[in-house]
Amino acid sequence: MSSVQSLREFIGERLTAAAEEIFSHVEDTIVQLEAELERQRRLLDIVLQPHAQLQTAGLPNSYLRNQEEAELLQIKEQEEEICISQDEEQPDDSAYAELA
């Protein structure tokens, strides 16, 4: 087998391995984002529930407003944590430099 043929096979194998690794990371990211999206939807459903149920329990309006603000603040903090964790998970370019 010629050296050119060997080089082509080696490059093909490396590209296949790199593509599989990238695809695996994309799949993992999609699963994580779908789970986070579902969690955010549940939180949003909680926040957007009609207040009539709570008001019939005899809770003062000021308590309800404070509760809503606390929930919204918690959601914002969780979103910031997600953004920070996603920024930290960004792959560096050194893994791709090997292929070049």
What is the crossing angle of helices 61-88 and 3-48, to 10°? 170
What's residue 91's pLDDT? Answer: 57
In the chain, domain spans: 3-97
Cα 58 off chain centre by: 39
Residue bearing the bigger pLDDT, 59 or 13 = 13
- CA–CA gap between residue 46 and residue 41 (Å, rounded): 9
pTM of the model: 0.44
- For 52-87, letters b (16+ CB in 10 Å) and e give eeeeeeeeeeeeeeeeeeeeeeeeeeeeeeeeeeee
